[in-house]
Amino acid sequence: MDQAHQKGISRRHFLQTALLGTAGFSILPPLAYGRPAPSDTINIGVIGLGRQAQGLTNTFLNIPGVKVVAGSDVYRVKRQRFEQLVNGYYQHQKKRSKIKTYEHYTDLLNRKDIDAVVIATPDHWHALMGIDACRAGKNVYLEKPLTFTIKEGQELVKAVRNNNRILAVGSQQRSSREFQHAVNLIREGKIGRVERINAHVGGPPVPYNLGPQPIPDGLNWELWLGPNPYVHYNPALNPPISLDPPQGETIWAAWRLYKETGGGYTTDWGAHMFDIAQWALNKDSSGPVEVIPPGYQDYDYLTYRYDDGVTMTERPYDEQKSRGIKFWGSDGWIEVTRGGFKSSDPSLDIQRNAEGGIDNTRFAHQLDFIAAIRNDRDPVVPVEVGHRTSTVCTLGNIAYELQRPVQWNPQQESFVNDAEADHYLHRPYREGYSLT
């Protein structure tokens, strides 16, 4: 398929102003606009129309110069809900809308008028959809974790670069002030040399143990499974919704909790908190060299060791068991979680608003993706960074599975003399599906 043209520069003042809240941080790339392209509008298609996609769609609908034109999902009622959402928005704005939805995502990718796609499906589809999108000439906003296996991540990196595409990972904490502030301080040595880290994310996946229930009308369960081995349907994996009366998902889909369909909290929250550790340690192109599971010898927590001696444990750091991360340095400590920042040194505290909160620029992460497309530059979290973070998470699950330490060579992205662990670099696909 022909590659779509990159879209040109529009709403320059809006984007410059909206990104001022993040551009001033030294870690983020500068906002620099390139040459104009033929059109001002970036047309977006959304693949996977569940609960996460609802929020992302609302975000992109509100970014000037962006138009949501298509959606895809294996569940008919979610396609209908998406049509109502998008058409209702444009009708309220008194704009014409030609929204169209598809059961199979490849039909969406075949459209020449779509410049970028947002992929918010379960993790087991991320790699195949991302690779197909790149080959179709689309830029990609892909939810975290980047992929289900390490091999998938390696192949997705190749697809992005070989097809000269832009891929942004939905690791939005890198666009939040509290995490930027913490990382800047750590890199500047404000707490001395980092010695250890507590990153509380939660445990690994468990075997699938949900009872079978009838597949709802309009849900293509075989297509939902895709490359996954077959498991029977249970509504916890794809929560039902209703349009009459209106009723959205009341729970987050539980596919992430089971080995057959997800990576547990190790990948779900690890893709956020382990990501911040990688960033702060300047390991975005590297990773740990050893991973030790809890229960091995005297280790009580999942432990990562880096080549410089820093250790990171999946361990709570406060009584509330906050989903967050604490850095212990030779000269102090820093705690950071969503909307919260603490330090052993009060002078390092972040600037707060009148209510004592931490302001974040609205839509900053998604705005950066759009700016990256317009400027033909990497986003805040490019594919390689997302792959390294996803690898850290998956290594943890492999150590959990083997119930013993694994040694990892981050330069070669391979296990060290461990044929048993090598089997976990990828997984068998169902017949009819292939990674390459």
Check residue 66 and give its pLDDT. Answer: 97
**The token pair that represents 24 in the structure block:** 């001033």
- What digits encode the pLDDT tens for the residues 338-377? 999 999 999 999 999 888 889 888 899 999 999 999 999 9
CA distance 375 to 150: 30
| Phi, psi angles (nearest 5°) of residue 358 | -115, 115
**What interhelical angle do 150-162 and 383-402 show, nearest 10?**
170
Contact 376/385 with Cβ under 8 angstroms?
no
Check residue 356 and give its pLDDT. Answer: 86
Check residue 39 and give its pLDDT. Answer: 57
Contact 363/63 with Cβ under 8 angstroms?
yes
Contact 45/72 with Cβ under 8 angstroms?
yes
Residue 215 burial (CB < 10 Å; 0-12/13-18/19+)? middle
CA distance 207 to 143: 24
Check residue 410 and give its pLDDT. Answer: 98
Distances (CA, A) of 262 to 110, 144, 208: 28, 12, 10
CA distance 76 to 102: 9
**The token pair that represents 235 in the structure block:** 């509504």
Which residues of the chain are modeled with pLDDT < 70? 1-39
| Phi, psi angles (nearest 5°) of residue 370 | -65, -40
Sequence-ordered list of residues with C-beta below 8 angstroms from that of 262, at least 6 positions apart, any chain: 122, 123, 124, 205, 255, 256, 268
